[in-house]
Amino acid sequence: MTGVETLSPVVSAVAAVLVLLGAGFALIGSFGLLRLPTFYERVHPPTMGTTLGIALVIGASMLVFSALESRPVLHELVIAVFAIVTTPVTYVLLLRAAIRREKAERPEHGASAR
Amino acid sequence: MSASLLGIALVAAPIMLAVAMGCAAARLIIGPRAQDRVLALDTMYVDAMLLILVFGIRDGSALYFEVAVVIAMLGFVSTAALAKFLLRGEVIE
């Protein structure tokens, strides 16, 4: 903890709220991944962590580093853009794989669908 | 006073993220199908990246940012490769 104590009270309070909210969204998403009964329901909760969790923690990081270095620090936006671009791609690939595997297990539905 | 609030938050957030990684690891172990395990691995990558970012805020060091970028890229590539393997049976056709 080198420079975090030197922040102004407003900046550190806002950063604390952002960090706690982001970690809370990631925790709720992972807990939903553990609790929900079927695979197609389990796909939804982790997206809370990949959207709002990443956005809030990155916002806190940008705020703290901008206040520490007294200039706007924006390079965390790379992670946000990367997550926004890649998360739908991976989930669509994974859901297509899951649908194809379930069709291959039930040949009567697979034959009627083809 | 609120600087200590940030100190509390920077202690509590890694614990919450570690519990989140534990939930994803439990799903990785018990998950009945292979697609559940791939989804749990992707969630663990995201939680680990958030944990590295929180560590970076706590230490005030910019070095953690590069680690977070590398973990995000590895998470995307590994999840896409595993989903492609489940879809086709081989990764590179």
**Which of B30, B44, B50 to substitute to test the interface with A, most A CBs within 10 Å?**
B50
Residue A49 lies in a domain: yes
Distance CA B58, CA B39 (A): 29
- Per-residue pLDDT 10s for chain A (114 aa) are 456 777 788 888 898 999 999 999 999 999 999 998 888 889 999 998 888 999 999 999 999 888 888 888 888 888 889 888 999 999 999 999 888 888 887 766 544 444
Q: What are the helix and strand counts (H, E) for chain B?
A: 3, 0
* CATH fold for domain B2-88: Helix Hairpins (1.10.287)
Q: What is the pLDDT of residue A114?
A: 41
pLDDT computed for residue A106 by the predictor: 77
Angstrom distance (rounded) from CA B37 to CA B35:
5
Tens digits of per-residue pLDDT, B13-69? 999 999 999 999 999 999 788 889 999 999 999 999 999 999 998 888 888 889 999
Residue A22 falls inside a structural domain: yes
Is residue A2 in some structural domain? Answer: no
Q: In sequence order, what DSSP letters do the residues of A18-48 get, joined into one string?
A: HHHHHHHHHHHHHHHHHH-SSHHHHTSTHHH
Burial (CB < 10 A; 0-12, 13-18, 19+), residue B89, is exposed
| Tally of structural domains, chain A | 1
ipTM at complex level? 0.86
Flag whether A3 is in a domain: no
Domain carrying residue A45: 8-113
Q: How many helices (H) and strands (E) does chain A have?
A: 6, 0
Measured CA to CA, the distance from residue A62 to residue A40 in angstroms comes to 34
Contact B24 A33 (CB under 8 A): yes
Structural domain boundaries of chain B? Answer: 2-88
| Least Cα separation, residue A110 to chain B (angstroms) | 15
